Structure 1
Amino acid sequence: MFGSKKDPNEQIFKDACKAYKKEDYNKAAELFSDAAALGHVGAMSDLGLMYAQGKGVPRIKQEAVKWWAKAAEGGEVKAQHNLATAYATGDGIQQSYEDAIVWFRKSAEQGYYKSQYSLYKIYSQGLGVQKDEVKAAEWLIKAAEQMYPKAELELGRLYISGDGVEASEKLAVKYLKRAARHGEESAVEVLKDIRGD
């Protein structure tokens, strides 16, 4: 674009990503930290991940959660998911399904399939909410439609059992075949059971 200036913060973030891919974690952490300090939500999210994994920085879950919370407030989808997961498990923060659901929902509503799948798990198991198989299935369908293999497998199973959806062998086979194509080996076994092999 003519006359536009490149965002130097974005360049720092890109350099951090390159360093991470080269497994130069110390440099990546330094650059993510610089970009995060300048307000880059993607850098905040990735810095949180580095603290969670102990790559380039000490492994400190509370520090990971701190960075994910900042990025999540800024609308970063994966940070919202990671923060929600921390709340759900109590890893690095006080466990709270109520807060987990809030952040999973924010991420899921932006289309993040892993958060959609997590909401399926929460509603199907009644974790911090009343068990709701229909609501669980609605979130699972959204994740499966994005070709998330775990969701495709589970949705295939739901169409067999009829939990939260109307039972349909045709739809069960459709999603199980998709799951198998996407690498879910257990989907092949479920398909064999349906066929009676």
Structure 2
Amino acid sequence: MRTFDAVRTTILSALVAAATLGTVGGASAFDDKVFDDKGEVKAESNPWAVFQFGFTAYKSGHKDQAVEAYRYAAENGQIGATWKLARMYAEGDGVPRNDFEAFKFFNEIVEQDVEVGSPEESYVSDALVALGGYLKRGIPDSPVRADTVAAQEYYMRAAATYRNPNAQFEMGKMFLKGEGGVKASVRQAGRWFQLAAEKGHAGAQATLGNMLFQSGKVVRGLAMMTAALERAAPADQPWIRNMQEEAFALAAEADRRTAIALAQDILTKGEGG
């Protein structure tokens, strides 16, 4: 399971459990317990209860109320609410997209004292990857400038400490290209790609497959790229398809047939490569 999915599961599991105990009502029924006559969250509200309300309001399509609820909960120590705000600003979900606002919320999360293995570690892990991405690219019209060395440090923390597959994939790419202050190393790149692939990361599996193909392990490489294409999210399918089709065009017919059969075996058994 990818870390982003794990974060979603953390939120959903907690709120479903709370709902089972009767602590979460419909958004409209709970409004007067959370908001005052001015539409602001009541100062005496319990942060966890407000976070619950925010989740219910969000699912009901009342994202304006969700934002206010999450903001109050975040200001009062709810890391999950901070993460939701970060994601909403990063994706323009219920608010105008604002990468710098998202960056600030993600940064608040990674500065929290969260122990490895705690239920909240998935928020920190995801935030580290997000910050790494922002620092790798930079954020236009903001103080955040592109800094691949700083990005590598965030990715490494998420990859090594939290075993985040997205971060492991990014570390693999950095070692492959010699970016972020690390020395280019195919061996180190392959190690990180392998770790991410074992967790089902399609991009890592495809890249590792291409590396195997280029090194002469044609069938295994083709099979991994083919399996990765089947698993990939829509946003990743174009570049993985181009990589896979280019390799297939160079392979012998017998190798293609064998690779297709092996790819189905990989998909059936859920292997990461």
Cα contact 2:168–2:195 (8 A) shared by 1: yes
In terms of mean alpha carbon deviation, does 91-100 or 187-196 score higher? Answer: 91-100
What displacement does 1:19 show? 5.6
Q: CA–CA distance in 2 between the matches of 1:108 and 1:151?
A: 15
Cα contact 1:16–1:31 (8 A) shared by 2: no
Matched, 1:87 2:93: no
Q: CA–CA distance in 2 between the matches of 1:181 and 1:141?
A: 18
Change beyond 3 A, Cα 1:139–1:45? farther
Flag structure 1 segments of 5+ consecutive residues without an equivalent. Answer: 1-13
**1:117 — aligned with what?**
129
Cα contact 2:26–2:56 (8 A) shared by 1: no
What displacement does 1:170 show? 2.7
What displacement does 1:16 show? 5.7
Q: CA–CA distance in 2 between the matches of 1:31 and 1:186?
A: 40
What displacement does 1:185 show? 2.9
Q: CA–CA distance in 1 between the matches of 2:130 and 2:185?
A: 24
So what's the TM-score if we normalise by structure 2? 0.56
What displacement does 1:28 show? 5.7
Match of 1:131 among 129, 143, 146: 146
Deviations 1:92-146 (A, max 9, x none): 2344333222211011223511111111121112124211111111111122121
Q: CA–CA distance in 1 between the matches of 2:155 and 2:14?
A: 36
**Percent of residue pairs identical:** 26
So what's the TM-score if we normalise by structure 1? 0.74
Which is greater in Rg?
2
**1:41 — aligned with what?**
47
The root-mean-square deviation of aligned C-alpha atoms, in Å, is 3.0
Structure 1 counterpart of 2:129, one-letter code: Y
Q: How many residues align?
A: 176
Flag structure 2 segments of 5+ consecutive residues without an equivalent. Answer: 1-12, 35-40, 115-123, 218-273
**2:193 — aligned with what?**
176
**2:206 — aligned with what?**
189
Q: CA–CA distance in 1 between the matches of 2:178 and 2:102?
A: 27
Q: CA–CA distance in 1 between the matches of 2:188 and 2:45?
A: 45
**1:140 — aligned with what?**
155
